[in-house]
Amino acid sequence: MRLLGLAVVVVLVGFGTSVAEAETIYLTATRLLDPVLGREVDYPAIVIDSGKVTAIGTVSSLPAPDGARHIDLGAQTILPGLIDMHVHLTSRADTHGFKGLLVTPAAAGISGVANARVTLLAGFTTVRNVGASDYADVALRESIENGETIGPKLFVSGPLIGATGGHCDRNLLPFEYHLVSEGVADGPEAMRHKVREVHKYGADLIKLCATGGVLSKGDSVGAQQLTLAEMTAAVDEAHMLGLKVAAHAHGTSGIKDALRAGVDTIEHASLADDEAFALARQKGAAFSMDIYNDDFILGEGAKFGMLPESLEKERQVGRLQRETFRRAVKAGVFMIFGTDAGVYPHGDNARQFAKMVEWGMTPMQAIQAATVNAAKMLGPLGDDRGSLAPGKSADIIAVTADPLADIRTLENVAFVMRQGVVYKADGASVFPR
Protein backbone atom coordinates (compact mmCIF):
# COMPACT_ATOMS: atom_id res chain seq x y z
CA MET A 1 0.00 0.00 0.00
CA ARG A 2 2.75 2.39 1.00
CA LEU A 3 4.81 1.67 -2.11
CA LEU A 4 1.76 2.29 -4.25
CA GLY A 5 1.44 5.76 -2.74
CA LEU A 6 5.09 6.50 -3.44
CA ALA A 7 4.73 5.48 -7.06
CA VAL A 8 2.41 8.46 -7.47
CA VAL A 9 5.26 10.83 -6.61
CA VAL A 10 7.41 9.28 -9.27
CA VAL A 11 4.78 9.83 -11.93
CA LEU A 12 4.21 13.41 -10.84
CA VAL A 13 7.90 14.24 -10.98
CA GLY A 14 8.28 13.31 -14.61
CA PHE A 15 11.38 14.02 -16.64
CA GLY A 16 13.39 17.17 -16.35
CA THR A 17 12.64 18.29 -12.84
CA SER A 18 14.18 17.36 -9.53
CA VAL A 19 11.81 19.32 -7.28
CA ALA A 20 8.47 17.86 -6.28
CA GLU A 21 5.48 19.45 -7.96
CA ALA A 22 3.13 21.50 -5.81
CA GLU A 23 1.82 18.54 -3.86
CA THR A 24 1.53 18.48 -0.09
CA ILE A 25 3.02 15.46 1.67
CA TYR A 26 2.34 14.52 5.28
CA LEU A 27 5.21 12.33 6.53
CA THR A 28 5.00 10.37 9.77
CA ALA A 29 7.09 7.71 11.53
CA THR A 30 7.76 6.27 14.98
CA ARG A 31 10.80 8.38 15.78
CA LEU A 32 12.77 11.38 14.60
CA LEU A 33 16.37 12.15 15.41
CA ASP A 34 16.79 15.90 15.80
CA PRO A 35 20.50 16.79 15.57
CA VAL A 36 19.86 20.41 16.54
CA LEU A 37 18.25 19.53 19.86
CA GLY A 38 20.51 16.50 20.18
CA ARG A 39 17.61 14.19 21.02
CA GLU A 40 14.94 11.96 19.59
CA VAL A 41 11.25 12.79 19.28
CA ASP A 42 8.46 10.17 19.27
CA TYR A 43 5.79 10.04 16.56
CA PRO A 44 7.00 12.94 14.43
CA ALA A 45 4.93 14.54 11.68
CA ILE A 46 6.34 16.67 8.88
CA VAL A 47 4.48 18.66 6.24
CA ILE A 48 6.26 19.09 2.92
CA ASP A 49 5.26 21.40 0.11
CA SER A 50 7.05 22.15 -3.18
CA GLY A 51 10.23 20.47 -2.02
CA LYS A 52 10.44 22.23 1.32
CA VAL A 53 9.50 21.45 4.90
CA THR A 54 6.63 23.78 5.82
CA ALA A 55 5.78 22.46 9.29
CA ILE A 56 7.18 19.95 11.77
CA GLY A 57 5.75 18.58 14.98
CA THR A 58 4.28 15.39 16.32
CA VAL A 59 1.33 13.33 15.14
CA SER A 60 -0.74 14.73 18.01
CA SER A 61 0.32 18.38 17.62
CA LEU A 62 0.38 18.59 13.82
CA PRO A 63 -2.54 16.99 11.99
CA ALA A 64 -2.46 16.22 8.27
CA PRO A 65 -3.38 19.24 6.15
CA ASP A 66 -6.46 18.84 3.94
CA GLY A 67 -5.68 17.04 0.70
CA ALA A 68 -2.15 16.03 1.76
CA ARG A 69 -0.79 12.67 0.68
CA HIS A 70 0.19 10.69 3.75
CA ILE A 71 3.43 8.69 3.72
CA ASP A 72 3.73 6.71 6.95
CA LEU A 73 7.16 5.22 7.54
CA GLY A 74 5.87 2.90 10.25
CA ALA A 75 8.52 1.86 12.77
CA GLN A 76 11.32 3.78 11.07
CA THR A 77 13.44 6.63 12.45
CA ILE A 78 13.58 9.85 10.42
CA LEU A 79 16.75 11.97 10.13
CA PRO A 80 17.75 14.95 8.03
CA GLY A 81 19.47 13.86 4.81
CA LEU A 82 23.15 13.15 5.47
CA ILE A 83 26.00 15.38 4.27
CA ASP A 84 29.43 14.09 3.27
CA MET A 85 31.89 16.99 3.15
CA HIS A 86 34.66 15.12 1.31
CA VAL A 87 33.94 12.98 -1.74
CA HIS A 88 35.33 12.54 -5.23
CA LEU A 89 32.32 11.43 -7.28
CA THR A 90 34.28 11.27 -10.53
CA SER A 91 36.83 8.85 -9.04
CA ARG A 92 36.50 5.07 -8.79
CA ALA A 93 37.72 2.97 -5.90
CA ASP A 94 39.10 0.33 -8.27
CA THR A 95 41.27 2.76 -10.25
CA HIS A 96 44.35 3.90 -8.36
CA GLY A 97 48.01 4.57 -9.16
CA PHE A 98 49.00 4.05 -12.80
CA LYS A 99 45.49 2.80 -13.66
CA GLY A 100 44.38 6.41 -13.27
CA LEU A 101 46.36 7.42 -16.35
CA LEU A 102 43.90 5.50 -18.53
CA VAL A 103 40.85 7.41 -17.31
CA THR A 104 39.57 9.84 -19.95
CA PRO A 105 37.57 12.97 -19.06
CA ALA A 106 34.44 11.35 -20.53
CA ALA A 107 34.94 8.20 -18.47
CA ALA A 108 35.32 10.28 -15.31
CA GLY A 109 32.10 12.12 -16.14
CA ILE A 110 30.21 8.87 -16.61
CA SER A 111 31.55 7.55 -13.31
CA GLY A 112 30.34 10.75 -11.71
CA VAL A 113 26.78 10.16 -12.91
CA ALA A 114 26.75 6.60 -11.59
CA ASN A 115 28.38 7.53 -8.28
CA ALA A 116 26.04 10.47 -7.66
CA ARG A 117 23.07 8.11 -7.87
CA VAL A 118 24.63 5.53 -5.55
CA THR A 119 25.53 8.23 -3.04
CA LEU A 120 22.01 9.66 -3.00
CA LEU A 121 20.46 6.22 -2.53
CA ALA A 122 22.82 5.66 0.42
CA GLY A 123 21.12 8.58 2.18
CA PHE A 124 23.58 11.37 1.37
CA THR A 125 21.39 14.15 0.04
CA THR A 126 24.22 16.71 0.00
CA VAL A 127 27.92 16.25 -0.73
CA ARG A 128 30.94 18.47 -1.12
CA ASN A 129 33.07 17.29 -4.03
CA VAL A 130 36.62 18.37 -3.21
CA GLY A 131 38.65 17.72 -6.33
CA ALA A 132 37.84 16.69 -9.90
CA SER A 133 39.58 17.10 -13.25
CA ASP A 134 38.21 18.90 -16.31
CA TYR A 135 35.45 20.58 -14.29
CA ALA A 136 33.52 17.30 -14.54
CA ASP A 137 32.14 18.12 -11.07
CA VAL A 138 30.65 21.40 -12.32
CA ALA A 139 29.01 19.57 -15.24
CA LEU A 140 27.67 16.91 -12.89
CA ARG A 141 26.26 19.51 -10.50
CA GLU A 142 24.43 21.18 -13.41
CA SER A 143 23.11 17.88 -14.76
CA ILE A 144 21.62 17.00 -11.36
CA GLU A 145 20.30 20.53 -10.92
CA ASN A 146 18.52 20.33 -14.29
CA GLY A 147 16.90 17.00 -13.46
CA GLU A 148 18.81 15.22 -16.21
CA THR A 149 20.46 12.83 -13.75
CA ILE A 150 19.82 12.05 -10.09
CA GLY A 151 22.15 12.70 -7.21
CA PRO A 152 22.74 14.66 -4.03
CA LYS A 153 22.92 18.43 -3.93
CA LEU A 154 26.52 19.05 -5.00
CA PHE A 155 28.94 21.73 -3.90
CA VAL A 156 32.12 21.44 -5.94
CA SER A 157 35.71 22.69 -5.93
CA GLY A 158 36.83 22.01 -9.49
CA PRO A 159 40.55 21.14 -9.66
CA LEU A 160 42.62 20.81 -6.51
CA ILE A 161 45.01 23.74 -6.10
CA GLY A 162 48.56 22.89 -5.07
CA ALA A 163 52.28 23.05 -5.69
CA THR A 164 54.28 21.64 -8.59
CA GLY A 165 55.10 18.04 -7.70
CA GLY A 166 52.80 18.15 -4.68
CA HIS A 167 49.93 15.91 -3.64
CA CYS A 168 47.57 17.51 -6.13
CA ASP A 169 49.86 17.51 -9.13
CA ARG A 170 50.08 14.46 -11.41
CA ASN A 171 53.46 12.92 -10.73
CA LEU A 172 53.30 9.51 -12.42
CA LEU A 173 55.08 10.24 -15.70
CA PRO A 174 58.65 11.44 -16.46
CA PHE A 175 59.41 14.99 -17.58
CA GLU A 176 59.21 14.27 -21.31
CA TYR A 177 55.40 13.89 -21.05
CA HIS A 178 54.89 17.26 -19.32
CA LEU A 179 51.90 16.02 -17.34
CA VAL A 180 50.77 18.78 -14.98
CA SER A 181 47.47 19.03 -13.11
CA GLU A 182 45.10 21.90 -13.90
CA GLY A 183 45.32 23.13 -10.32
CA VAL A 184 49.08 23.65 -10.06
CA ALA A 185 50.14 27.08 -8.83
CA ASP A 186 53.41 28.24 -7.27
CA GLY A 187 53.79 31.48 -5.33
CA PRO A 188 51.18 33.77 -3.77
CA GLU A 189 50.25 35.59 -6.99
CA ALA A 190 49.83 32.36 -8.92
CA MET A 191 47.62 31.03 -6.13
CA ARG A 192 45.48 34.13 -6.29
CA HIS A 193 45.18 33.77 -10.05
CA LYS A 194 44.29 30.08 -9.78
CA VAL A 195 41.55 30.79 -7.25
CA ARG A 196 40.07 33.38 -9.63
CA GLU A 197 40.27 30.93 -12.51
CA VAL A 198 38.59 28.12 -10.57
CA HIS A 199 35.85 30.52 -9.51
CA LYS A 200 35.44 31.67 -13.12
CA TYR A 201 34.74 28.14 -14.29
CA GLY A 202 32.07 27.44 -11.71
CA ALA A 203 33.50 26.21 -8.40
CA ASP A 204 31.48 26.70 -5.20
CA LEU A 205 34.52 26.37 -2.94
CA ILE A 206 38.31 26.10 -3.07
CA LYS A 207 40.40 23.03 -2.26
CA LEU A 208 44.07 23.51 -1.42
CA CYS A 209 46.71 20.85 -0.95
CA ALA A 210 48.70 22.05 2.04
CA THR A 211 50.79 18.91 2.61
CA GLY A 212 51.84 15.68 1.01
CA GLY A 213 49.45 12.78 0.76
CA VAL A 214 49.10 9.04 0.88
CA LEU A 215 48.03 8.36 -2.69
CA SER A 216 50.39 10.81 -4.42
CA LYS A 217 53.66 9.57 -5.86
CA GLY A 218 56.99 10.91 -4.68
CA ASP A 219 56.01 13.01 -1.69
CA SER A 220 56.12 12.57 2.03
CA VAL A 221 52.73 12.50 3.70
CA GLY A 222 53.72 14.79 6.55
CA ALA A 223 55.63 17.39 4.52
CA GLN A 224 54.27 20.89 4.05
CA GLN A 225 53.82 21.80 0.36
CA LEU A 226 52.33 25.30 0.38
CA THR A 227 53.83 28.22 2.28
CA LEU A 228 51.88 30.34 4.71
CA ALA A 229 52.12 33.21 2.21
CA GLU A 230 50.68 31.06 -0.59
CA MET A 231 47.77 29.86 1.50
CA THR A 232 47.10 33.33 2.88
CA ALA A 233 46.83 34.69 -0.65
CA ALA A 234 44.51 31.88 -1.73
CA VAL A 235 42.26 32.19 1.31
CA ASP A 236 42.13 35.97 1.04
CA GLU A 237 41.07 35.75 -2.58
CA ALA A 238 38.58 32.93 -2.00
CA HIS A 239 36.91 34.67 0.91
CA MET A 240 36.71 37.89 -1.10
CA LEU A 241 34.82 35.88 -3.72
CA GLY A 242 32.58 34.37 -1.05
CA LEU A 243 34.09 30.88 -1.35
CA LYS A 244 34.99 28.62 1.57
CA VAL A 245 38.39 26.93 1.58
CA ALA A 246 39.08 23.27 2.34
CA ALA A 247 42.72 22.29 2.86
CA HIS A 248 44.06 18.77 2.40
CA ALA A 249 46.56 18.51 5.27
CA HIS A 250 48.05 15.48 7.03
CA GLY A 251 51.27 16.99 8.40
CA THR A 252 51.47 19.09 11.56
CA SER A 253 53.11 22.26 10.22
CA GLY A 254 50.93 22.33 7.10
CA ILE A 255 47.77 21.95 9.20
CA LYS A 256 48.81 24.84 11.42
CA ASP A 257 49.84 27.16 8.60
CA ALA A 258 46.57 26.37 6.78
CA LEU A 259 44.70 27.34 9.94
CA ARG A 260 46.78 30.50 10.37
CA ALA A 261 45.98 31.37 6.76
CA GLY A 262 42.29 31.13 7.63
CA VAL A 263 41.07 28.00 5.82
CA ASP A 264 37.61 26.85 6.83
CA THR A 265 38.13 23.10 7.00
CA ILE A 266 41.13 20.82 7.44
CA GLU A 267 40.76 17.60 5.49
CA HIS A 268 42.40 14.46 6.99
CA ALA A 269 44.12 16.36 9.88
CA SER A 270 46.08 13.18 10.60
CA LEU A 271 49.02 14.60 12.55
CA ALA A 272 47.33 17.58 14.20
CA ASP A 273 48.74 18.43 17.64
CA ASP A 274 47.32 20.31 20.63
CA GLU A 275 48.35 23.65 19.15
CA ALA A 276 46.46 22.77 15.96
CA PHE A 277 43.35 21.92 18.00
CA ALA A 278 43.60 25.28 19.77
CA LEU A 279 44.13 27.14 16.49
CA ALA A 280 41.13 25.41 14.91
CA ARG A 281 38.91 26.38 17.82
CA GLN A 282 40.18 29.94 17.91
CA LYS A 283 39.71 30.39 14.16
CA GLY A 284 36.33 28.62 13.95
CA ALA A 285 37.69 26.00 11.56
CA ALA A 286 36.46 22.40 11.40
CA PHE A 287 38.20 19.05 10.97
CA SER A 288 36.95 16.60 8.37
CA MET A 289 38.70 13.33 9.20
CA ASP A 290 38.35 10.34 6.86
CA ILE A 291 38.96 7.67 9.47
CA TYR A 292 37.28 4.75 7.69
CA ASN A 293 39.63 5.07 4.68
CA ASP A 294 42.54 3.19 6.29
CA ASP A 295 40.59 -0.10 6.38
CA PHE A 296 39.95 -0.02 2.65
CA ILE A 297 43.40 1.20 1.61
CA LEU A 298 45.29 -1.45 3.58
CA GLY A 299 42.72 -4.16 2.83
CA GLU A 300 41.98 -3.63 -0.86
CA GLY A 301 44.28 -0.89 -2.13
CA ALA A 302 47.02 -3.06 -3.60
CA LYS A 303 44.70 -4.95 -5.93
CA PHE A 304 43.22 -1.69 -7.23
CA GLY A 305 46.58 -0.24 -8.21
CA MET A 306 47.69 1.73 -5.16
CA LEU A 307 51.46 2.12 -5.25
CA PRO A 308 53.59 0.29 -2.68
CA GLU A 309 54.86 3.67 -1.45
CA SER A 310 51.25 4.75 -0.84
CA LEU A 311 50.53 1.64 1.20
CA GLU A 312 53.68 2.34 3.20
CA LYS A 313 52.55 5.92 3.84
CA GLU A 314 49.12 4.65 4.92
CA ARG A 315 50.78 2.34 7.43
CA GLN A 316 52.60 5.38 8.85
CA VAL A 317 49.59 7.62 9.13
CA GLY A 318 46.36 5.56 9.40
CA ARG A 319 46.48 4.59 13.05
CA LEU A 320 47.88 7.98 14.11
CA GLN A 321 45.00 9.72 12.33
CA ARG A 322 42.47 7.72 14.36
CA GLU A 323 44.29 8.57 17.58
CA THR A 324 44.31 12.23 16.55
CA PHE A 325 40.58 11.98 15.91
CA ARG A 326 39.99 10.80 19.46
CA ARG A 327 42.07 13.66 20.88
CA ALA A 328 40.46 16.26 18.61
CA VAL A 329 36.98 15.20 19.75
CA LYS A 330 38.12 15.44 23.39
CA ALA A 331 39.68 18.85 22.76
CA GLY A 332 36.37 20.16 21.43
CA VAL A 333 37.40 20.72 17.82
CA PHE A 334 34.36 21.34 15.58
CA MET A 335 34.02 18.08 13.63
CA ILE A 336 32.34 17.49 10.28
CA PHE A 337 31.74 14.23 8.44
CA GLY A 338 34.05 13.71 5.43
CA THR A 339 34.95 10.31 4.04
CA ASP A 340 37.06 10.67 0.87
CA ALA A 341 34.65 8.27 -0.89
CA GLY A 342 36.06 7.67 -4.34
CA VAL A 343 39.22 6.36 -2.71
CA TYR A 344 36.84 3.68 -1.35
CA PRO A 345 33.50 2.71 -2.93
CA HIS A 346 30.80 5.35 -3.24
CA GLY A 347 27.69 4.36 -1.33
CA ASP A 348 29.77 3.01 1.55
CA ASN A 349 30.10 6.54 2.97
CA ALA A 350 28.10 5.67 6.10
CA ARG A 351 30.58 3.00 7.18
CA GLN A 352 32.57 5.82 8.72
CA PHE A 353 29.92 6.45 11.40
CA ALA A 354 30.83 3.28 13.28
CA LYS A 355 34.52 4.26 13.18
CA MET A 356 33.72 7.67 14.59
CA VAL A 357 31.86 6.05 17.46
CA GLU A 358 34.64 3.50 17.97
CA TRP A 359 37.16 6.36 18.18
CA GLY A 360 35.43 8.53 20.74
CA MET A 361 32.23 10.14 19.52
CA THR A 362 28.75 9.43 20.79
CA PRO A 363 26.37 8.28 18.03
CA MET A 364 24.62 11.66 18.32
CA GLN A 365 27.91 13.53 17.80
CA ALA A 366 28.73 11.45 14.73
CA ILE A 367 25.29 12.20 13.25
CA GLN A 368 25.61 15.89 14.10
CA ALA A 369 28.94 15.94 12.23
CA ALA A 370 27.07 14.74 9.12
CA THR A 371 24.10 17.08 9.48
CA VAL A 372 24.05 20.36 11.45
CA ASN A 373 27.82 20.71 11.72
CA ALA A 374 28.41 19.99 8.05
CA ALA A 375 25.71 22.44 7.00
CA LYS A 376 27.27 25.12 9.17
CA MET A 377 30.65 24.72 7.44
CA LEU A 378 28.99 25.13 4.03
CA GLY A 379 28.30 28.72 5.10
CA PRO A 380 25.28 30.38 3.44
CA LEU A 381 25.13 27.48 0.94
CA GLY A 382 24.13 25.24 3.84
CA ASP A 383 21.41 27.47 5.29
CA ASP A 384 18.57 25.33 3.92
CA ARG A 385 19.96 21.93 4.90
CA GLY A 386 21.40 19.81 7.72
CA SER A 387 18.26 19.91 9.88
CA LEU A 388 14.49 19.72 9.50
CA ALA A 389 12.57 22.93 10.15
CA PRO A 390 10.13 25.11 8.21
CA GLY A 391 11.88 26.56 5.15
CA LYS A 392 14.55 23.84 4.93
CA SER A 393 14.87 21.65 1.87
CA ALA A 394 12.82 18.45 2.28
CA ASP A 395 15.93 16.27 2.33
CA ILE A 396 14.88 13.42 4.61
CA ILE A 397 16.01 9.87 5.22
CA ALA A 398 14.81 7.06 7.45
CA VAL A 399 16.35 3.91 8.89
CA THR A 400 14.79 0.78 10.35
CA ALA A 401 16.57 0.78 13.74
CA ASP A 402 17.29 3.49 16.28
CA PRO A 403 20.67 4.91 15.15
CA LEU A 404 21.54 5.92 18.73
CA ALA A 405 21.33 2.25 19.72
CA ASP A 406 22.79 0.87 16.48
CA ILE A 407 24.84 3.38 14.50
CA ARG A 408 25.39 0.82 11.72
CA THR A 409 21.73 1.07 10.73
CA LEU A 410 22.86 4.16 8.79
CA GLU A 411 24.73 1.81 6.43
CA ASN A 412 21.36 0.59 5.10
CA VAL A 413 19.11 3.57 4.67
CA ALA A 414 15.49 2.52 4.00
CA PHE A 415 13.97 5.79 2.82
CA VAL A 416 15.45 8.72 0.86
CA MET A 417 13.71 11.95 -0.08
CA ARG A 418 15.45 14.94 -1.62
CA GLN A 419 13.66 18.22 -2.28
CA GLY A 420 10.38 16.42 -1.62
CA VAL A 421 11.01 13.69 -4.20
CA VAL A 422 11.13 10.09 -2.96
CA TYR A 423 14.03 8.08 -4.42
CA LYS A 424 13.97 5.08 -2.12
CA ALA A 425 11.33 3.47 0.09
CA ASP A 426 11.39 0.27 2.12
CA GLY A 427 15.00 -0.14 1.08
CA ALA A 428 14.22 -0.22 -2.66
CA SER A 429 14.87 2.43 -5.28
CA VAL A 430 11.54 3.79 -6.48
CA PHE A 431 12.87 6.12 -9.12
CA PRO A 432 12.57 4.79 -12.66
CA ARG A 433 15.85 6.19 -13.97
Distance CA 149, CA 141 (A): 9
CB of 226 to ligand ARG, least distance (A): 15
CB of 118 to ligand ARG, least distance (A): 19
Distance CA 222, CA 198 (A): 26
Q: What is the DSSP string of 209-224?
A: E-B--SSSTT--TT-B
Distance CA 28, CA 135 (A): 40
Q: Are strands 31-34 and 39-42 parallel, antiparallel or unpaired?
A: antiparallel
Residue 51 or residue 213: which is nearer to ligand ARG going by CB?
A: 213
CA angle 278, 259, 85 (to 5 degrees): 100
Residue 225 or residue 293: which is nearer to ligand ARG going by CB?
A: 293
CB of 207 to ligand ARG, least distance (A): 11
CB of 224 to ligand ARG, least distance (A): 14
Distance CA 397, CA 33 (A): 10
Residue 197 or residue 309: which is nearer to ligand ARG going by CB?
A: 309
**Which residue, 301, 275, 347, is CA-closest to 118?**
347
CB of 55 to ligand ARG, least distance (A): 41
* Other Cβ atoms closer than 10 A to 107: 14
Q: DSSP character for 329?
A: H
CB of 246 to ligand ARG, least distance (A): 12
Residue 33 or residue 246: which is nearer to ligand ARG going by CB?
A: 246
Q: DSSP character for 98?
A: G
Helical H segments across 302-371, by residue range: 308-330, 351-358, 363-369
Phi and psi angles of residue 275, each rounded to the nearest 5 degrees, phi first: -65, -35
Residue 47 or residue 271: which is nearer to ligand ARG going by CB?
A: 271
**Which residue, 123, 31, 128, 30, is CA-closest to 80?**
123
CB of 317 to ligand ARG, least distance (A): 5
CB of 296 to ligand ARG, least distance (A): 9
Residue 81 or residue 222: which is nearer to ligand ARG going by CB?
A: 222
Phi and psi angles of residue 377, each rounded to the nearest 5 degrees, phi first: -80, -5
CB of 228 to ligand ARG, least distance (A): 21
Residue 35 or residue 222: which is nearer to ligand ARG going by CB?
A: 222
Which residues of this protein are in contact with ligand ARG, per CB under 6 A? Answer: 213-215, 268, 290, 293-294, 297, 314, 317-318, 321, 340, 343
Residues 394/423, Cβ–Cβ less than 8 Å: no
**Which residue, 324, 327, 318, 268, is CA-closest to 298?**
318
Q: Which residues contact 198 (CB under 8 A, 6 or more apart)?
A: 157, 158, 159, 161, 183, 206
CB of 270 to ligand ARG, least distance (A): 6
Sheet holding 82-87, edge to edge: 82-87, 124-129, 153-156
**Which residue, 297, 300, 267, 162, is CA-closest to 219?**
162
Residue 335 or residue 397: which is nearer to ligand ARG going by CB?
A: 335
Residue 343 or residue 414: which is nearer to ligand ARG going by CB?
A: 343
Q: Map residue 188 onto helix, strand or coil.
A: helix
C-beta nearest to ligand ARG: residue: 213
CB of 314 to ligand ARG, least distance (A): 6
Distance CA 133, CA 223 (A): 24
